[in-house]
Amino acid sequence: MNRKHTLALTAIAAVFLTACAAPMPTSADLDKLAKDMASRSFRAQGQAKLDRLEQDEDNRLCSDADSKGVSVTEADAKAIEARNLASIKAPADGKYLGDFKAGEKVAQSGAGKTWTDKEDAPNGGNCYNCHQISQTELSYGTIGPSLYNYGKMRGVTDPTSATAKPIVEYTWGKIQNSRAYNACSSMPRFGHKAILTETQIKDVMALLLDPASPINK
């Protein structure tokens, strides 16, 4: 073998060794790699501070399952739902429903909490981004189920009645903290994460459950 060949072979071996020398990190190491990457890839802007990158345990478990294409374990799902359910408080004055017209405005607005939003401006509910609600609004998203006729379909004729109580309380809870009923729901936790005020949530409740609301006609 001449010198040229030896050199070429050595070069090939070197490339081969570099490629094979470092094995693929373990899944846990890759988790850490991604976490470190996130922590050095963002900066604070407006109200969007870096603490938003810190996941709570619920998000950590759901994200991990999502990235593996599986569901969270039954035990994890139960634990997530239990602690989120515990966060839900009934309205202080016992009144669950506000004004459906104001509720429609909250449902229409997608504003709030981005780095371009003013911190003191009211946040929106983003409802139409994912749900059909009224029949007149044709620009609605499809990530969530249709909420058209939400109250009517569930037989709500008097939201203050004993028969309506379970669905009224469930709807309240779902808007306050969706993860109480579905561990890894995609829906924001409007009450728990202080996206909407109690008054705004009451107004959205009225939009969905008031028999006078246009969506229940």
Q: Which is nearer to other proteins, 8 or 33 (CB)?
A: 33
Give dist(CA 36, CA 34) in Å, integer: 6
Nearest distance, CB of residue 125 and other proteins, angstroms: 11
Closest CA to 175 of 207, 212, 149: 207
User: Considering only 87-95, 133-141, 155-163, 199-207, which stretch makes contact with other proteins by CB under 8 A?
Assistant: 133-141
Question: Who contacts 8 (Cβ-Cβ below 8 Å, separation ≥6)?
Answer: none
Candidates 100, 140, 150, 172; binder of other proteins (CB under 8 A) is 140
Alpha-carbon span 168 to 191, nearest angstrom = 16
Contact 214, 107 (CB under 8 A): no
- Do residues 168 and 204 lie in contact, with contact meaning Cβ atoms separated by under 8 Å? no
- The total number of residues shown for the chain amounts to 217
Coil, strand or helix at 179: helix
Closer to other proteins by Cβ: residue 75 or 143: 143
215 in contact with other proteins (CB under 8 A)? no
Cβ-defined contacts of 118-123 (< 8 Å, 24+): 119/46, 119/47, 122/197, 122/200, 123/195, 123/196, 123/200
Beta partners for 37?
none
Query: For every residue of 4-30, which 3-state class applies, written as one string?
Result: HHHHHHHHHHHHHHHHHHCCCCCHHHH
Q: With CB under 8 A as the contact rule, which of the stretches 18-26, 94-102, 153-161, 209-217 interacts with other proteins? A: 18-26
Identify the residue among 114, 146, 157, 163 touching other proteins (CB under 8 A): 114
Stretch that binds other proteins, among 57-65, 89-97, 159-167, 199-207 (CB under 8 A): 57-65
| 49 makes contact with other proteins (CB under 8 A) | yes
63 is a contact residue toward other proteins (CB under 8 A): yes
Work out how close the CB of 155 gets to other proteins at its nearest, in angstroms, rounded to a whole number. 28
Q: Residues 157-196: x/- map of binding to other proteins (CB under 8 A)?
A: -----------------------------x-xx---xxx-
- Give CA–CA dist 86/94, Å, rounded: 18
Q: Is 72 in the site for other proteins (CB under 8 A)?
A: no
**Residue of 7, 14, 37, 86 that binds other proteins (CB under 8 A):** 37
User: Does residue 70 interact with other proteins by CB under 8 A?
Assistant: no
30 in contact with other proteins (CB under 8 A): yes
